[in-house]
Amino acid sequence: MSEKQLTILGIGGHVGDMELTAGGVLADHSLKGDKIVTLALTAGERGVPAGQDMAEYREQKVREAAAFAELLGGRSIVFDIPDGELEDNTEMRYRVCDVIREVKPDIVITHFKNSMHKDHMTTHRIVNDARFYAGLASFERDLPAHFASRLYYAENWEDAVDYRPYVYVDFSQEAYDLWVEAVSKHWFVTGSKSFPYLEYYKHLARVRGIEARKTYAETFMIPEENKRVLRSEL
């Protein structure tokens, strides 16, 4: 168990985004006794399998988010916003702010700024501002202010433009196995015909691990203003 229990909040545009891109690290932290919470701003139901009712698939996605979180000893939150209709507005920033104040994360993980998917880019902007709102007591809400001191942007094949791995976080075989089991609860991860999600992210975890001289790893970017290396000498 970590010396101090950490709380990590992964915020994605859809159910499955954070589970795929940061799931190995989340699993590793869960095994160390840290608290894991996922928030999906939409369920991602427009990826509905052919022939299935979209409303039913949304309910399925919510269950899948809960199943993933349960295996990691955490919890999931899914907003009731239709997939593809996420609004880039102040109301959404306050809704995410309220979750941050309730969960009190030490670490927030979300999407990188660029993406082929509008919901991912909108989520990035919402989360950055919501973290700011959550940390200032002068933004009066029902819950007291809380500042999440660490913010990371996960590596996602859909968010690849200008993404450059900055932080490598390695994780154990046990965490890898837990992550694969948990993320396989999502139908689109194992059943989608449009993209081999599980195969891609399993191989990516191994490639990033090799680059880090470890077995498995996931990479992240950080806010530009935090890219500082302080040394007293070379």
Whether the CB-CB separation of 106 and 37 falls below 8 Å is answered with no
0.85 cut: is pTM over it? yes
Q: What whole-number distance in Å separates Cα of residue 11 and Cα of residue 131?
A: 11
Number of helices (H), then strands (E), in the chain = 8, 7
Could you read off the pLDDT of 29-77 as tens digits, one per residue? 999 999 999 999 999 999 999 899 999 999 999 999 999 999 999 999 9
List domains and CATH numbers for the chain. Answer: 7-224 (3.40.50.10320)
Average per-residue pLDDT for the chain: 96
DSSP E strands in the chain: the ranges are 7-14, 35-42, 75-78, 107-110, 150-154, 167-171, 216-221
Confidence of residue 4 (pLDDT cuts 50, 70, 90): confident
Phi/psi for 39 (5° steps) reads: -125, 125
| Cα pseudo-dihedral 172, 173, 179, 182, rounded to 10 | -140
pLDDT at 123: 98
| Cα–Cα dist 197/184, whole Å | 10
Rounded Cα gap, residues 181 and 178, in angstroms? 5
The pLDDT, as a whole number, for residue 155 is: 98
Decide if 95 contacts 41 (C-beta within 8 A): no
Q: How many C-beta neighbours within 10 Å does residue 105 have?
A: 28
Q: Which pLDDT score, from 0 to 100, does residue 145 have? A: 98
Examine the pLDDT at 1 and tell me if it is beyond 60.
no
Q: Is the pLDDT of residue 2 over 50?
A: no
pLDDT in tens, 107-155: 999 999 999 999 999 999 999 999 999 999 999 999 999 999 999 999 9
Q: What is the rounded average pLDDT of the residues 194-205?
A: 97
Contact call for residues 194 and 165 (beta carbons, < 8 A): no
